[in-house]
Structures are given as C-alpha cells and as structure tokens.
C-alpha cells in the first residue's frame, strides 16, 4: 500500500493540534452559536412587539398567534409539546400567566421574553452539541469542492433537504450548508461521497463513504437499499471528528477508532479492504501516536488534522483521485 499520507505528514507530531488552532476553533464555535441564536432572538423581538399591544398578562391568552410562544415561555419544549393534550397546554400557559407574568406587574412583557429565551436557550444548547461536527463537515466539503474546481473536474451535489442532485453551476457559497453527497468523474470512473450514510454491511452510520458510482446510477436505482448492500461498491470510509475541546479529544478518538475497527472487521469477512481514514480537529499527543502507528501498519490509509489546511487539502486531493 502506497503511503500517501507521507505527502503531508512526517511524524505523529505533525498531527497534534496546535494551541492557536484550538483557540481559533473555540472562536468559530462562538460565532456558530451566535448564528444559530439569531432566529431565537428575532422570535423574541416579534413576541415582545405583540405582547406590548395588550395592557395585562391575561389578554395574552386571547392572542392565538403567540400560543406556541407562550408554551415555550412556560418551559415546554417543541418536542414535549407534541405529547401534550390541549388541556395540558392551556394549563401550562395559565400557570405561566398566574405564577410569573402577573406578579411581574407592568414588567410582564420583559418577564415573558426572558422566559421564552430561557427555554430557547436549552434548545440552542442541544443543537450546539453537534455544532463541531457540522462545522467540520462544512469545512471538509468546501475543501473537496475547491480541489475539484482547481483540478477542472465537474461535479454534482445532493441537497439534503429535497434529496435532489444539482450541477456544479448550481452551487454557491452556501452549498456546504445543504450538501449530503458529492459526485464527480475521476478520469473514466465516477465517484460519489456520502455524508452520514448507514451502511447495511456494517449496520452503522458512517461519517464519510466513498462509493464507486455516479449520481445518475443512484437516481436510476429503484432498489435503493439493495444498491447499498453490495459490498463491492465501497472504496473508502472515513471518520470525521470536529470537536475542538482537548478535554474530549480522547473520547472522540475512541469512538472513531471503534467505528473504523467495525468497518474493517465487517469487510474483511468478505475479503474486501476499503481504504480507511481519519480527520480530527482535536488531536492530542497520545492520540497522534496511535494514529501514526495505524498509518504505519496500514490499518489507516490516510489521516489529517482538520485545523491544518495543508493536511486537509492533501487528504481531499487523495479522495478526489481514488
């Protein structure tokens, strides 16, 4: 097996995340939190403007347009709302008004907005648990697209919302926010990369799956699951860990290593050996030594630190040319 990782790695030390990159990563997470918080802040402003039209809290109950927001301010999450009967919802809103808004007196509107944002803050906190992974996916996808464009390779991309394929000319600066798959032609062969695909052979969701097929083949395949059950179509699998906090680095690596071992075992039973690779944002010294050892014994075909542009572009070029 050709050790292509040596094009961007000279030793395990090259994989270790630098302090500056960790700091930059935390700033990126803060910006992402603010981006995701914007809709909630705008909702709170809209709620406040409507609430200011009534003279007392009891009148809020008469405004149907803010019934959902009143439930949120009551501490009821969107997920919990689906399990409540209408009487439960009315009871929760009445409790909000009688126990919290009325005692606030003339400041009941501010109290309403604060409590609305408190519940929405919990929602934001939940979504931020996966923020590192989302940022990592977007960064990798943009790097892959850039390398395809630099190489003059045409590509198409799968929209995660409507499940439709679009051409390269229909992509823009926001494509990575909506992309689920990326397909291109490598010489005379077609390649398609899927994000977060459940592979029947492994029976688990895998972060990155490179498949020997074109987007048109996927569209034309009526038996979608049967197509993915064919072990011979898989060329490479990758684990992508975007968490930047050094405290969680080892746990992320253990999860990734277990997933990669599971893939290796599942395919080896079929006498197949797809390429395996790892890309991580937070890589500590002990982790880097383990990753390097796996590269050296061919357990891994490639690896990169997500925060290192040279390494990430090198792995992207490798994927685009498999």
* 2 falls within a domain: no
Query: What is the overall mean pLDDT for the chain?
Result: 90
Looking at the predicted structure, is the pLDDT value of residue 223 above 60?
no
Give the sheet arrangement for strand 275-280, strand by strand. 165-167, 155-159, 179-186, 189-199, 204-211, 234-241, 275-280, 302-305
Same domain, 174 and 67: no
**How many domains does the chain divide into?**
2
Q: Is 275 helix (H, G, I), strand (E, B) or coil?
A: strand
What pLDDT is stored for residue 230 in this prediction? 86
Looking at the predicted structure, is the pLDDT value of residue 188 above 70?
yes
Summarize pLDDT for 36-56 with one digit per residue, the tens.
899 999 999 999 999 999 999
* 12 falls within a domain: no
Query: What CATH number corresponds to the domain at position 188?
Result: 3.40.91.10
Q: Cα–Cα distance between 289 and 86 in angstroms, integer?
A: 58
Looking at the predicted structure, is the pLDDT value of residue 176 above 90?
no
Same domain, 263 and 156: yes
Q: Is 204 helix (H, G, I), strand (E, B) or coil?
A: strand
* 165 falls within a domain: yes
What pLDDT is stored for residue 102 in this prediction? 93
Grade residue 203 by pLDDT with cuts at 50, 70 and 90: confident
Same domain, 115 and 137: no
* Mean pLDDT (whole number) for 11-33: 92
What pLDDT is stored for residue 315 in this prediction? 97
* 203 falls within a domain: yes
Summarize pLDDT for 125-139 with one digit per residue, the tens.
776 677 788 889 999
What pLDDT is stored for residue 206 in this prediction? 94
* 289 falls within a domain: yes
Return the higher-pLDDT residue of 218 and 21.
21
Which of 87, 104, 128 corresponds to the end of one domain? 128
Looking at the predicted structure, is the pLDDT value of residue 71 above 60?
yes
Same domain, 123 and 172: no
* 18 falls within a domain: no
Range list of β-strands (E), the chain? 155-159, 165-167, 179-186, 189-199, 204-211, 234-241, 275-280, 302-305
Same domain, 307 and 168: yes
* Mean pLDDT (whole number) for 186-209: 90
Same domain, 219 and 308: yes
* 26 falls within a domain: no
Residues with Cβ within 8 Å of residue 201, at least 6 apart in sequence? 229, 231, 234, 266, 267, 270
Q: Cα–Cα distance between 180 and 205 in angstroms, integer?
A: 14
Q: Is 230 helix (H, G, I), strand (E, B) or coil?
A: coil
What pLDDT is stored for residue 279 in this prediction? 97
* 20 falls within a domain: no
Same domain, 77 and 143: no
What pLDDT is stored for residue 213 in this prediction? 86
Q: Cα–Cα distance between 115 and 124 in angstroms, integer?
A: 14
Grade residue 237 by pLDDT with cuts at 50, 70 and 90: very high
Q: Cα–Cα distance between 155 and 251 in angstroms, integer?
A: 35
What pLDDT is stored for residue 221 in this prediction? 52
Same domain, 233 and 96: no
Same domain, 185 and 283: yes
Which of 128, 151, 184 corresponds to the end of one domain? 128
Structural domain containing residue 175: 130-320
Full DSSP string of 234-268 = EEEEEEEE----GGGHHHHHHHHHHHHHHHHHHHH
Cα-based torsion angle of the residue sequence 109, 110, 116, 122 in order, rounded to the nearest 10 degrees: -170
* Mean pLDDT (whole number) for 137-147: 94
Which of 88, 109, 128 corresponds to the end of one domain? 128
Q: Is 104 helix (H, G, I), strand (E, B) or coil?
A: helix
Same domain, 219 and 279: yes
Looking at the predicted structure, is the pLDDT value of residue 220 above 70?
no
- The enclosing H or E element of 214 equals none
Stated pTM of the model: 0.81
């Amino acid at each position: 097996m050709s050790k292509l990782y040596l094009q961007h790695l000279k030793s395990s030390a090259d994989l270790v995340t630098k302090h500056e990159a960790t700091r930059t990563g935390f700033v990126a997470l803060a910006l992402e939190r603010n981006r995701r918080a914007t809709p909630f802040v705008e909702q709170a402003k809209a709620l406040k403007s409507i609430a200011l039209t009534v003279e007392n809290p009891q009148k809020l109950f008469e405004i149907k347009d803010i019934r959902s927001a009143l439930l949120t301010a009551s501490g009821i999450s969107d997920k919990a709302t689906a399990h409540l009967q209408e009487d439960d919802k009315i009871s929760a809103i009445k409790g909000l008004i009688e126990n919290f808004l009325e005692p606030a007196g003339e400041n009941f509107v501010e109290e309403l907005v604060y409590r609305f944002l408190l519940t929405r803050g919990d929602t934001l906190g939940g979504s931020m648990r996966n923020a590192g992974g989302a940022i990592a996916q977007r960064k990798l996808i943009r790097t892959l697209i850039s390398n395809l464009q630099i190489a003059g390779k045409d590509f198409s991309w799968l929209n995660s919302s409507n499940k439709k394929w679009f051409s390269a000319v229909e992509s823009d600066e926001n494509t990575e926010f909506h992309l689920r798959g990326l397909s291109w032609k490598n010489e005379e062969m077609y390649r398609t990369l899927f994000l977060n695909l459940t592979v029947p052979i492994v029976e688990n969701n895998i972060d990155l799956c490179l498949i020997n097929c074109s987007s048109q083949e996927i569209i034309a395949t009526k038996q979608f699951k049967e197509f993915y059950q064919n072990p011979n179509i898989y060329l490479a699998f990758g684990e992508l860990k975007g968490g930047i906090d050094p405290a969680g680095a080892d746990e992320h690596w253990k999860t990734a290593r277990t997933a990669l071992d599971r893939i290796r075992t599942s395919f080896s039973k079929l006498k197949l050996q797809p390429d395996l690779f790892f890309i991580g944002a937070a890589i500590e010294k002990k982790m880097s030594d383990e990753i390097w050892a796996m590269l050296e014994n061919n357990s891994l075909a490639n690896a990169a630190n997500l925060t290192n542009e040279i390494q990430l572009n090198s792995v992207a070029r490798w994927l685009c040319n498999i």
